[in-house]
Amino acid sequence: MGIAEIKKHLSKFRIGIAGAGGLGSNCAVALARSGIGTLVIADFDIVEELNLNRQYYFYEQVGMMKTDAIRDNIKHVNPGILVITHQKKLDRTNISEIFAGCNIIIEAFDNAGMKEMLIETVQTKMPGIPLIVGSGMAGWGKTNDLICRKIDETLYVCGDETSEVSDNLPPLAPRVGIVANMEANVTIEILMNIK
């Protein structure tokens, strides 16, 4: 299948992205370049200078809402994508409403408790919707430890499932970017199998 056909197929789908930090911003841009039709992105934070070590933002965007900044950046790579943003903190009560109609949901938080909350909520309130999670990507090196594990038809995990962030093991652009792109890659793989 050629690129035009692939883009035409992917343009039919709507993908939810929970968080627009290191995982979410990079994953969103990869999906936009690939031609996903609609991206629903939720985040409540602003772009900070510290984020620029790994997140898909620019120096001039420091101080902007991440939802506004990512919308602008997607527009610069693919103006044909519909981007729906929610400037909101996700919780158990609003997730199924915000991501209603999405074919796949991508977990892109940094905090482990938020990751757990999102998985519990999506898997119980939105049964059958595939959820792609990132877990374990702090530090550098260990490229071949980063894998994608399919738990079942509705749950995939990307990362090494071991490396947690700490003062001595910060999140850096390469490993976070790899996992963000792995999440995008699994998304496309699932969508390409839908006829």
Partner 1 sequence: MKESITVNEMLILKKFSYKMRIIKINGTLISKENYDSTIIHDGDDVQMLYLMSGG
User: In the complex, which residues of this chain contact partner 1 (CB under 8 A)?
Assistant: 19, 21-24, 108-113, 115-116, 119-120, 123-124, 133-138, 151-152, 154-155, 157, 159, 161-165, 171, 176, 179
Q: Which is nearer to partner 1, 101 or 111 (CB)?
A: 111
Within 13 A of 144's CA, how many CA atoms are on the CB side? Answer: 0
CB of 102: closest distance to partner 1 in angstroms?
19
Going edge to edge, which strands form the sheet with 82-86?
A: 82-86, 38-42, 14-18, 104-107, 131-134, 155-159, 147-152
Measured from the CB of residue 133, what is the shortest distance to partner 1 in angstroms?
7
- Measured from the CB of residue 80, what is the shortest distance to partner 1 in angstroms? 27
| Residue closer to partner 1, measured from CB, 81 or 160 | 160
Minimum CB separation from partner 1 for residue 81, in Å?
Answer: 22
Question: Please, which residue, 68 or 116, has the CB nearer to partner 1?
Answer: 116
If DSSP codes are grouped into helix, strand and coil, which group holds residue 133?
strand
CB of 39 to partner 1, least distance (A): 17
Closer residue to partner 1, CB minimum distance, 37 or 159: 159
CA–CA distance, 181 with 88 (Å, rounded to integer)? 24
Contact 165, 11 (CB under 8 A): no
Give the max Cα distance, the chain.
46
Cβ-based neighbours of 79, under 8 Å, separated by 6 or more: none
Nearest to partner 1 of 12, 149 (CB atom): 149
CB of 163 to partner 1, least distance (A): 6
3-class secondary structure, 116: helix
Number of neighbouring beta carbons within 10 Å of residue 162: 11
Backbone angles phi, psi at 155, to 5 degrees: -145, 120
Q: CB nearer to partner 1: give 35 or 177.
A: 177
